[in-house]
Structures are given as structure tokens and as C-alpha cells.
Chains A and B, each alone.
Chain A
């Protein structure tokens, strides 16, 4: 029996991607392999590590816990979609990206895409977090390098940059 292939229209970072995938294709794999957006990283593949977190209609969700076929009606934002358009070819780093750069919020960078998406949505909900709230915001994401201290600083710095740019 050959596996059935589905034509799926994914809306990612404002573009439409027509992909042909089996039903079992995880959204994380569809983004990486079918859309070519390898910024979304795949860590544990069972919802624990948070590396694959993307925004689905603005809310952070684990892309490894969604099927691509089930994401048809959603607007998806990956780490590639966070960069701000400013007329230059590479764009401008978003407040959260800039803060990670300023505060050394990453070392190896594997977990970073999941942190960036999670914090981007977190600051929409709570634009001025306390340090405790910043820790709570990133509690669902694992990082094995930084010890989290500089990621917490990055959350607080990102909130400042966001206000400076507003």
C-alpha cells in the first residue's frame, strides 16, 4: 500500500507554501524539509524541550506536536519571520533577537529559535515583565548552555528595546 499524500497549503511568515506531505509529517519537519525553513530546530520531538516552538496565530505552540495537515487554517510564524522589515536586504533584528545578541542570551544556539518565538509572544501578553515573570515565560524551554541567567536578562532587555522602538 502506498501512503496517501496530501496537498497542504501552509501560511508561514506571510508567504504561502504549497507542500505535498503524508499525514504523519510533523509540522516541525514540514517547515524544515518541505518549506526549507531550517530556523525551527528539532530537539526532543515529544514536546518537552521547546526548541521547535513556533507561533500559530500568534500563540506559541510546539511544532513537533502538530501535524502539517492539521495546520492548514493557521498563520504560522517561525524564527525567520521575527526579523523586522526596514528596507535593507537582511532586515533589522527584532527586539528579542537584538536583546539575545546584547545580553549573550545564547551559546550554541540550538534552543534559541524556540526561546525567541516564545518570548516574542510572551512580551505581547506582558510587555513589562518582572524577573520572576521572565523566568515563568521561559519555563517551558530547555537550554543546556547558558544556565538561563542571560536569557532572563535578554527577556528584560527585549522589553526595554520594544519600548524604546515603540
Chain B
């Protein structure tokens, strides 16, 4: 299993990378490569050129302030997961990252790369969507910020233009009085999840005033459902908006079953988390 031939560039500045990308219609960007290289090897992708951004400066950061966590395009999952500041600022980031593949893959794969790869079975696109985060992209035409709600167009398809490179992802901080939780079920440890669920809950006093759920691997894009008005049957409300898919790993019925099992569990865990944070 060998990739088809491609031209290769390893630019040392972002400007050089953006110019090369703008000038080559069939070019793809290589960061960690943990999703791209298998696609190349299986010849599911055959770009004419790879633009390797691993030598670009200043993109490996994980910075936190009161607004949230900013993750640079070359920050590896393992590096983000190891940041105590990130885990405090937005705990859902670390909760989900611990479920991303195996540690060996997390040592090389990048969080930003995983997001713009836009796999509905991946954890971080759904987490960014649930948290209402965003991705900053650059091109020779300038920079722009894409809100997560506008980022995922379809299976493995983001709304980045061909000449744009994602340079940073932004995960908003967890507000006081809010809580989060994450759980997924996979056939084997470290495999892609059959279904994964994250919850974001906001309390006023002891009452849940806002509850939103994110689903991965159920439909062909990451889906977020607001269940604030259907707390009596949140899984039912979620399934009304989800379209579980059949594949070789699970039937649509089994996925719907997992949604019914995981939804109340994760919602309860997020509510407990919010209460703990209020009482802390």
C-alpha cells in the first residue's frame, strides 16, 4: 500500500505555504497526517502536491485566557491534552481528547487538523460545534474566522476554501454555573466510536436552564441538539433531529439505542459537573 506520487513542499513561512496552496489546485496541507496519510496509502486521496506545514513557526501553541483555549495548527492532541490550563479553562477539551484514538496517534495528530478533516466520527469537530467555538483560517486573500456552526458541510467536508489553511481553533471557556461531560462507545478501546455524546449544561440556582447535546458518529456530520425544553425525554428530542446511519460497525437501530442509553447518562454527568463547580 503506497501513496500515488505527489510533489512536496516544506515551506518555512506561512506566506510561502499560502502562496503555494493558492497556486496549486490539487494541493493538500499536511500537518500531523494521522488521517491524511492512511487516505494517501489507500489511494482514497491523490493530491498533486503536499504542503507540509510542520516547519512553520509559531503554530504549536496552546494558550488560555478567560475567553477560552486557543490551539495552534501544529499543537498535537497529546500536547493539548497535557495542558492543565486548557483542562481548567474548558474541561470538555481534555475529556474528549482522552478518547481520540490511541496515545501514539495523539503524539502526532493535531487537534486543528482533526477539526478541519471534518470526520463526523471524530471527537473534536463535535466538541468545537457543541462549545460554539471557531476556526481561524488564512489565505493569500487574508484571514477570517469561521464559526463552528458554519464549518461542517458534509462527510469529511469543511467549508474552508481550497486556498485556506486553518491556523488556530478556539474553544470558549466554560462559564461558571455550567458543566460538561463526554462519553462514547466503541467496539474496541481506541477505535472510532459507534456513538459519542457530549453535554453542555447551564444552571441557575439548582435548575437546568439550558442543555445542549453533541453527537458524533450518529449522522454524517457532527450534530448539536438543544434539549432545554425537553428535559423529560432528551434522547427522544435528540433522535427527532438525528439520522442514525447503518455501516459495517453498527446498524442504525443500534446507534439509536446507544443514543437513548448515553444521552441521559451524559446529561446527568454534565449536570453533576455544573453543581460541583458551583459548590467549589
Contact = CB atoms under 8 A, between A and B. Distances in A.
A157 to B, nearest CB: 21
Given A23-B6, A26-B2, A140-B102, A56 B37 contact: no
Interface in B1-34: 1-8, 10, 30, 33-34
Contacts of B3: 24, 26
A66 B32 CA distance: 8
A65 B37 contact: yes
Given A56-B108, A73-B55, A139-B189, A46 B7 contact: no
A67 B54 CA distance: 12
A75 B42 CA distance: 28
Given A23-B6, A64-B41, A69-B8, A139 B190 contact: yes
B103 interface: yes
A154 interface: no
B108 A23 contact: no
Nearest to B30: A70
Interface in A15-66: 22-24, 26, 29, 45-47, 50, 53, 56, 59-62, 64-66
A143 to B, nearest CB: 14
B83 interface: no
A24 B5 contact: yes
A140 B108 CA distance: 14
Contact of A65 (B7, B42, B78, B108): B108
Interface in B36-58: 37-38, 40-42, 50, 52, 54-55
Given A3-B5, A4-B7, A139-B189, A67 B104 contact: no
A64 to B, nearest CB: 7
B41 A46 contact: yes
A140 B103 contact: yes
Contacts of A47: 34, 37-38, 105
B102 A139 contact: yes
B34 A70 contact: no
A62 B107 CA distance: 9
A24 B187 CA distance: 32
Instruction: Identify which of B1, B54, B107 gathers the most chain A CB atoms within 10 Å of its CB.
Output: B107
Contact of A23 (B7, B55, B190): B7
A118 B104 contact: yes
Contacts of B33: 65-67, 70
Contacts of A139: 102, 189-190
Contacts of A56: 107-108
Given A24-B40, A65-B105, A65-B108, 17 more contacts: A23-B7, A23-B8, A29-B2, A46-B38, A46-B41, A47-B37, A50-B102, A50-B104, A56-B107, A59-B107, A60-B104, A62-B108, A67-B8, A67-B30, A70-B10, A70-B33, A139-B189
Interface of B: 1-8, 10, 30, 33-34, 37-38, 40-42, 50, 52, 54-55, 78, 101-105, 107-108, 189-190
Interface of A: 3-4, 6, 22-24, 26, 29, 45-47, 50, 53, 56, 59-62, 64-67, 69-70, 72-73, 118, 139-140
